[in-house]
Amino acid sequence: MIAELGHFILVLALVVALAQAFVPLAFLRHETGNATALSFATRASYLQVLLIGASFAALTYAFVRSDFSLMVVFANSHAAKPMIYKIAGVWGNHEGSMLLWTLILAAYGAAFALTSKRLPARFSSFVMVTQGLLGSAFLSFLLFTSNPFARLLPAPFAGQGLTPILQDPALAAHPPLLYAGYVGFSMSFAFAIAALATAGEPHEGRDNNWARWMRPWILTAWIFLTLGIALGSYWAYYELGWGGFWFWDPVENASLMPWLAGTALLHSALVAETRDTLKRWTLLLAIVTFALSLSGTFLVRSGVLTSVHAFANDPERGVYILAILVGFTAGALALYAYRLPKLAPDGAFQPVSREGLLLANNIFLATATVTVFVGTIYPLVLDGLGMGKISVGAPYFNAVFAPLAVPFAILLPLGPLLTWRQGHLAPLRVYVAMGAAAALLLTVSLVLLRGPHSIMVLALFAASFWLVLGAGLDLYRKLFPHRAKLWRFWSLPSTAFSAPLAHGGLGVLMLGILAATQWREEVVVAASPGQEIDIASITLRYDGLREIEGPNYRAEQARLSYLTGAHAGSYLFPERRFYEAERSQTTEAAITTDLTGHLYAVVGETANDKRVLRIWYHPYVAFIWLGALLMAAGGGFGLRTRLRRGA
């Protein structure tokens, strides 16, 4: 009954979304209708989030109660599953995750309606109309191809369970974060549409105001996407069994593309806002970023790519999402081409200036985005044309990204140090020389400590050190005027922290990747109880194996004792779990997490009465996620600045 109600409410939500998309358009044809259009669209936005929220609650209820008469619950849940995974199971499948997607879309729409009171009515109305169109598209996709409330009668007694590797706290939070990022870029998309639709019309103020209004929404989406990708990477690191953190898997690439484009957008919108230039590029980027978010969804949901993520592959759904993707992208680009001449021309530009370096940043990020896109799509296209099957994997992406990262990281710290308009390098000469010398010194000391590396690796190390040092210098310069009241941490301006944290975070992340990939140690042994194992100047002893019972699995648990080092006397307990309901197994690595390195132990199969143990030492690997957190924190400070100033 509750399920039928949820289904019915979803139909109502579609009606409201359609009304939100088309009714205000009728009023917007005349200047006098702006206020009416806005008040209609605002109410529709609120109503939409309430309806979809109620529908989502109904589905959650079915999962919590293990109502196996619902198809999705039967296929993705099990009565013997811990409560958190019953709830996470709501979005651990295609239908539920698309419902979550539309819920987040509606939530963004309502948040905009709530906070946009100071924006011109006409502009806001166009934003909400675009959100209404998107809502209609995704709601009809749900109802016509992916109904989460489809019944299965007669109801089975037990569910098929959730894939065990997905039964994990990090993975419970991964999809909502990622979606909050993807869908967040629908806001900058809607702003771009509204900016194009109202281009050339008499405005309150300048015609680049949209860039200022857009920025907090780009930041919000970017923070969520950063956290979502980082969490997914951390999950892969500890769950997939050997400590890899990024596989250049097509599905990872699908999330990286909007992130790269979104990062470019974040910076170009800053130029558009401050210098009234790069406006055309920023609008194009806003459209492309959201198109990449949509194509991420298309790639994952259509089954074009085979991957752990691609549950419920269905060509019909793929075609529908492809139609949404093509429809919105082509429509937006047509509007772009048609309205572009109405936009006031871009302002002046100097190569040595902050905007000059932000332009360089955009060129590199665009190149990176295109590289990931081509690398992901090319094998599919080649195969589709019958020109052979090839693979594009990590070695390709590493080979292209490494030489791009070096100049990118070298130019990056100069941006915040230069002023807008006409920057001068001369006063910065001392800083630059000091920073470069320190980065080189650190790199040379690495060679002395760790032995020779390839030129490319050393260049990347030097560039990463330079990034961190540059961020430190940037922070120093911004806090210097406030040196008398540094202790009143909370009253310091947020702007002082945003760029240094985000840029320094990137440097920390790069250092983590370099250290973890270059200095990784690995021991693979077949051990009998009592055997000692040496790795990374630590001695471990394998004590033996025992069987344990989990809430919905059985496990073999090995025990390893630290004999030496700072952890002497403590244990590692790697497990192999067997999930009865899902008939599959997982390995649970035991990880000692120090900032300087992780000891990572996995228990394998039996070999001649001995037990295969695989033990890795991943030096400084935590820097990867620490760096991502710093970047997100930088975004957070940027957002705080915006909210304090008022949108």
Partner 1 sequence: MIGRLLSLAFLLAGLWVLPAQALDPGEALSNPALETRARALSQELRCLVCQNQSIDDSDAPLARDLRQMVRTRLSAGDSDAQIRAAVVERYGEFALFRPRLASHTAPLWAMPIIILLLGGFFGFRLMRQKTSTPPQ
CA distance 223 to 180: 9
Amino acid identity of residue 463, one-letter, is: A
Nearest distance from C-beta of residue 42 to partner 1, angstroms: 35
- Complex with partner 1: residue 536 or 612, whichever CB lies closer: 612
Written in H, E and C, the secondary structure of 12-57 is HHHHHHHHHHHHHHHHHCCHHHHHHHHHHHHHHHHHHHHHHHHHHH
Residue 46 or 578: the one with the smaller Cβ distance to partner 1 is 578
Can you say how many angstroms the Cα of residue 583 is from the centroid of all Cα atoms in its chain?
A: 31
For the CB of residue 160, give the shortest distance to partner 1 in the complex, in Å: 15
Give the shortest CB-225-to-partner 1 separation in angstroms.
22
> Which residues neighbour 502 within 8 Å (Cβ) at sequence distance 6 or greater?
630, 631, 634, 635, 638
Residue among 6 and 164 whose Cβ is closer to partner 1? 164
DSSP for residue 422: S
Q: Closest Cα to residue 20, out of 99, 95, 97, 112?
A: 112
- Measured from the CB atom, the residue of 10 and 271 that comes closer to partner 1 is 271
| Cis peptide upstream of residue 154 (ω within 30 degrees of 0) | yes
For partner 1, the closer CB: 359 or 626: 359
Distance CA 97, CA 174 (A): 11
* Residue 378: CB minimum distance to partner 1, A: 5
> Closest approach of Cβ 384 to partner 1, in Å?
13
Q: Which pair of tokens denotes residue 359?
A: 């332009």
- Identify the three-state secondary structure at position 584: strand
Nearest one of 38, 35, 77, 72 to 56, comparing CA atoms? 72
Closest approach of partner 1 to the CB of residue 264, in Å: 11
Q: Which is nearer to partner 1, 315 or 395 (CB)?
A: 395
- 258 close to 185: Cβ distance less than 8 angstroms: yes
Alpha carbon distance 603, 556 (integer Å): 9
**Closest distance to partner 1 from the beta carbon of 360 (Å):** 7
User: d(Cα 345, Cα 192) in Å, to the nearest integer?
Assistant: 16
Based on CB atoms, which residue is closest to partner 1, 57 or 533?
533
Q: For partner 1, which is the closer residue by CB, 166 or 325?
A: 166
Q: Which is nearer to partner 1, 570 or 606 (CB)?
A: 606
Of 36 and 517, CB closest to partner 1? 517
What are the b/e assignments for 349-380, b being 16+ CB within 10 Å? eeeebbbbbbbbbbebbbebbebbbebbbebe
| Beta carbon of residue 396, minimum distance to partner 1 (angstroms, whole number) | 5
CB of residue 318 vs partner 1: minimum separation in angstroms?
19
How far apart CA 62 and CA 58 sit, in angstroms, is 6
Q: Footprint of partner 1 on this chain (CB under 8 A)?
A: 165, 239-242, 244, 247, 249-250, 276-277, 306-308, 346-351, 356, 359-360, 362-364, 366-367, 370-371, 374-375, 378, 382, 387-396, 399-400, 404, 421, 522, 524-526, 576, 578, 583-587, 602, 604-605, 607, 612, 614
Cβ neighbours for 629, distance < 8 A, ≥ 6 positions apart: 227, 230, 505
Q: Which is nearer to partner 1, 411 or 442 (CB)?
A: 411
CB of 595 to partner 1, least distance (A): 25
Structure tokens at 615: 């033990």
Q: Which amino acid is at 318?
A: G
Whole-number minimum distance, CB 119 to partner 1, in Å? 24
Q: What share of the chain is helix, strand, coil (3-state, %, to 5)?
A: 65, 10, 25
Q: Minimum distance from CB of 576 to partner 1 (Å)?
A: 7
Q: Which is nearer to partner 1, 474 or 556 (CB)?
A: 556
| Phi-psi group of 569: left, alpha or beta (phi > 0 → left; psi -120 to 50 → alpha; rest → beta) | left
Rounded Cα–Cα distance for residues 552 and 133 (Å): 43
